[in-house]
Amino acid sequence: GAGVSQSPSNKVTEKGKDVELRCDPISGHTALYWYRQSLGQGLEFLIYFQGNSAPDKSGLPSDRFSAERTGGSVSTLTIQRTQQEDSAVYLCASSLGAQGGDTQYFGPGTRLTVL
Amino acid sequence: AQSVAQPEDQVNVAEGNPLTVKCTYSVSGNPYLFWYVQYPNRGLQFLLKYITGDNLVKGSYGFEAEFNKSQTSFHLKKPSALVSDSALYFCAVRDHTGSYQLTFGKGTKLSVIP
């Protein structure tokens, strides 16, 4: 079946602009996660959605970052007033549930470059 | 807080030789452990996981990993390396307290030399 998809695959933007990154999880997966992968920082958890529960935003690095998940499916990560330090690969993952042993399946990522 | 250490930034191995990529973890209670592989310009691909039961876990592409509770390790192994195994490997941990967040190691770059 179809895996997690993300768009765009690459995004180049100017400092100060807003960007939106999209994630389509695997159909039927109730949990959705955003991570950030940057050089020297490894993989950093950003935000987690589970069903209709309030999201866990504890990993968001600043109030310029926000995310929503509409209809329990597609998610959008928005970065306002982008800064050069926001340049990274943004990865989305989904899992069937949120139990500890549930496997997270990752999308191909969006590479964000802030000039 | 949970953490993962991958002590080697890079591992080089000759094609056909056995390979090991090391991972140690720190977590409260029992862990859930995962290995992922990342090829250039691709997302993370799930290889295998340990939840409970047998300490030796078999996964995709001939990879396996051994859970060692006393040494808090979960090393990834393969009996015979292929050039196509060259990639970036990540170990990740989750605890049993209900936390859904995966904590990843920094990654180990595996190079298999023909």
Residue to mutate among B100, B101, B109, with most A CBs inside 10 A, is B100
pLDDT digits (tens, 9 = 90+) for B39-86: 987 889 999 999 988 999 999 999 999 999 999 999 999 999 999 999
Answer yes or no: is pLDDT of B4 > 80.
yes
Nearest-neighbour CA in chain A from B1: distance (Å): 14
Q: Kindly state whether B32 is in contact with chain A, defined as any CB-CB distance less than 8 angstroms.
A: yes
Q: What pLDDT score does A1 carry? A: 57
Residue A72 is encoded by which pair of tokens?
């329990």
Give me the count of residues in chain B. 114
pLDDT at B99: 66
**pLDDT given for residue B98 in this prediction:** 63
Give percent above pLDDT 70 in chain B.
98
d(CA B23, CA B89): 10
Is B27's pLDDT higher than 70? yes
Q: Are strands B10-14 and B108-113 parallel, antiparallel or unpaired?
A: parallel
Q: What would the two tokens of residue A39 be?
A: 């050089």
Q: Which of A90, A87, A59, A58 is nearest to A75 (CA)?
A: A90
Question: Within a 13 Å sphere around the CA of B32, how many CA atoms are in the beta-carbon half?
Answer: 18
| Alpha carbons A54 and A38: distance in angstroms, whole number | 27
- Cα dihedral B1→B37→A35→B2 (10° resolution): 0
Partner residue facing A100 (CB), from B32, B41, B44: B32
pLDDT tens-digit profile of A41-97?
A: 689 999 999 888 888 888 899 999 999 998 879 999 999 999 999 999 999 999 998
Predicted local distance difference test score (pLDDT) of residue B88: 95
Q: Is the pLDDT of residue A37 over 70?
A: yes
DSSP letter string over B16-55? TS-EEE--EEE-SSSEEEEEEEE-TT--EEEEEEE-SS-S
- Could you tell me if A106 lies within 8 Å of chain B, comparing CB atoms? yes
Task: Kindly report, residue by residue over A17-31, the tens digit of the pLDDT.
Answer: 999 999 999 999 999
